Amino acid sequence: MRYTPKNIEENFNVSRGSRVAELLRLTIGLVIMVFGIYLLLGFTVDLIVPYISPKLERSLFKDNYKSKSYKTKTPDAIYLQKILNKLTANLDEKEKSDYQILFSENDELNAFALPDGKILVYKGLLKQAESENELAFVLAHELGHFAHRDHLKGLGRRLVLIFVSSLFFSSDENPVNKIFRQSLSITHLKFSQKQESNADLYGLALLNKTYGHVGGAADLMDRLKQGEKNSLFLPFVSTHPPSAERSKMLQQTIQKHHYQLKKKFPIVVE
């Protein structure tokens, strides 16, 4: 047998075509799929949430706050609780529940509606506020979230997020998975901007019912929007609509409903 050496020029073992195009195609496919499932499950959560009774909610989250270092008995917390009680006294009968202030010494400027009627307020908010009415509006806004069951929807969506990412990828450390979770969480935040606006409307109405006027409601927003002017990304990544937008919307609502603006109460922490 004679061996004739022959150089094979063409490579049959490597597929033709651009790898970059393939990457783009697969990425787009994955994005469509993940978002499709995420949206579908998200809507399902929104459908289910109204059927979760406050009783069930309480039993689910009863022990949730025990280990955290939130204050309920400090002067700050007691002061906020007083304002909250004023507001809740004016709620409709079916919305009444045991709402409680949790106070955090953190300097962050924020407040959250947490399951089981807890409102987490950060010290930064108390520092920024200049009147009781401002704080009351923030609390009324959070009560709006409770009334619309947004706190459970947000939680449900976060659960969906964890579920979707664990469904598609086995490990958390997978870079593709990580990036998808991050981009999903941005859209998740953007999702709730409409809920924030609705909570603002609710808060305004409740503030008016409690104090007889809405003075101070837009004050905090007016002060915040000064600080936001230089931030490019904020409208995109923020949980709340930009303060300027909110302030504008509040002003419009105040005019539309002919709400009064009267004297504001000072902050008195005993």
Partner 1 sequence: MADIINICFFIFLIVLGYIVGSIVEANHYKSIKRREAELLHLPAVTLPYKQFFAQEKVEVERISLVSGSVVLSEDYFKRILGILTNFFGGKMTSYESLIDRARREAILRMKVAAKDADVILNVRLLGVPIGKEMSEKNSISSVEIMAYGTAIKILKPTA
d(CA 188, CA 159): 11
Q: Which of residues 149-168 bind partner 1 (CB under 8 A)?
A: 168
- 72 vs 174, which CB is nearer to partner 1? 174
Is 169 a residue that touches partner 1 (CB under 8 A)?
yes
Is 26 a residue that touches partner 1 (CB under 8 A)?
yes
Is 89 a residue that touches partner 1 (CB under 8 A)?
no
Is 19 a residue that touches partner 1 (CB under 8 A)?
yes
Q: Find where tokens 């499709």 sit.
A: 36
Is 7 a residue that touches partner 1 (CB under 8 A)?
yes
Least distance to partner 1 from the beta carbon of 7, Å? 6
Is 22 a residue that touches partner 1 (CB under 8 A)?
yes
Number of residues that bind partner 1 (CB under 8 A): 34
Least distance to partner 1 from the beta carbon of 157, Å? 16
In 3D space, the residue among 165, 185, 161, 187 whose CA is nearest the CA of residue 176 turns out to be 165
- 155 vs 189, which CB is nearer to partner 1? 189
In 3D space, the residue among 222, 227, 223 whose CA is nearest the CA of residue 238 turns out to be 227
Applying CB under 8 A, among 90, 128, 174, 251 the residue interacting with partner 1 is 174
Q: Which of residues 179-198 bind partner 1 (CB under 8 A)?
A: 179, 182-183, 185-186
- 32 vs 89, which CB is nearer to partner 1? 32
Least distance to partner 1 from the beta carbon of 23, Å? 5
- 5 vs 266, which CB is nearer to partner 1? 5
CA 52, distance to chain mean position in Å, is 19
Is 10 a residue that touches partner 1 (CB under 8 A)?
no
Least distance to partner 1 from the beta carbon of 20, Å? 7
Is 69 a residue that touches partner 1 (CB under 8 A)?
no
Is 51 a residue that touches partner 1 (CB under 8 A)?
no
Single-letter amino acid, residue 171: S
Is 230 a residue that touches partner 1 (CB under 8 A)?
no
Positions touching partner 1 (CB under 8 A) are: 1, 3, 5-7, 11, 13-15, 17, 19-20, 22-23, 26-27, 29-30, 168-171, 173-176, 178-179, 182-183, 185-186, 233, 237
